[in-house]
Amino acid sequence: MPLNVDDTQQMRILLVLRMLLKLNEDIVHKMNNPLQVMMSELALIQSITEDLEPAVRADDVPKIVMLKESVEVIGSQIKRCSKIAKGLLKFSRKAENALQ
């Protein structure tokens, strides 16, 4: 069924859409900071693991291998989140252009 909206309603809808797009951009930006903190923490864990590695007992070597694997997985998941954030921003920019 076609929507029957007058000019005032259309203005309101546009305003709400613009607010949502702005909110989307703000959320994306705010997400970058915690992602950055996690990236740095991960680098710290990697660095400490490398420092401790020579002193690890032979029995514990598999645990270090597991730890390294786990760190890599977290790193790739952070990058995945960053890609999602980038996609959201791209969507926002496209939608803004469409509203112009």
User: Residue numbers of the site for other proteins (CB under 8 A)?
Assistant: 25, 28-29, 32-33, 35-41, 43-44, 47, 78, 82, 85-86, 89
Structure tokens at 90: 């791209």
CB of 21 to other proteins, least distance (A): 11
Amino acid, res. 5: V
Using an 8 Å Cβ cutoff, are 39 and 85 in contact?
Answer: no
CB of 79 to other proteins, least distance (A): 8
Using an 8 Å Cβ cutoff, are 56 and 92 in contact?
Answer: no
Nearer to other proteins, 8 or 33 (CB): 33
